Amino acid sequence: MQEKYEEISRKERNRDRQEYRWYSVCRECSLLTKTQKEWPFVKTVGLARQIRIPVERDGQGNDITPDIKTFLEKGSRRRPKPVQDEETGKDIQETGMISDMELTAEEMGRIKREHWAVENRLHHVLDDAFREDRSPAKKSKHNLALIRKFAYNILR
């Protein structure tokens, strides 16, 4: 069973935040009864967990970013309390993943990161072309985003 379950972790500094990522995969999907019955093609089930800590500096420019344990317990000056939510841009995110291929935790993490690289490139184009980040639309922002993506695909 040990060879069918795997975990890895990563730590990196991106832009103005410290990011911690954990990827766990199970390739013994017969353990998940519902999966075997309803989705017999599934070969790997995974969980990705990410925690983002904003980088902080004191008056002299020294890095005073809290470590992960302190951040989870107390927060930081910029984020008094870490938040877990499904929306992007929050401090703690968990994502479930399934695949019809037998993947290692490393491969699952790479695929997830590549997906977000594509999303980020699309967002950059939409922001440049349609000034999406400056849009005053509040309640209809998801509908407008869909229309912008549609328009972008026509223009492309």
How many whole angstroms separate alpha carbon 101 and alpha carbon 37?
A: 17
Q: Could you report the per-residue pLDDT of 93-109, keeping only the tens digit for each?
A: 888 898 889 999 999 99
Q: Could you report the per-residue pLDDT of 106-126, keeping only the tens digit for each?
A: 999 998 888 766 666 666 666
Which alpha helices (H) appear in 49-140, and where do they start and end? 68-74, 105-130
Q: Would you give the end-to-end CA distance of the chain in angstroms? A: 48
User: Which neighbouring-strand residues pair with 15?
Assistant: none
Residue spans of the chain under pLDDT 50: 1, 86, 88
CA atoms in the 13 A half-sphere facing the CB of 91: 15
How many whole angstroms separate alpha carbon 118 and alpha carbon 26?
A: 26
Q: What is the pTM of this model?
A: 0.66
Buried residues in 80-118 as b, exposed as e (16+ CB within 10 A): eebeeeeeeeebebeeebebeeebebebbbebbeeeeee
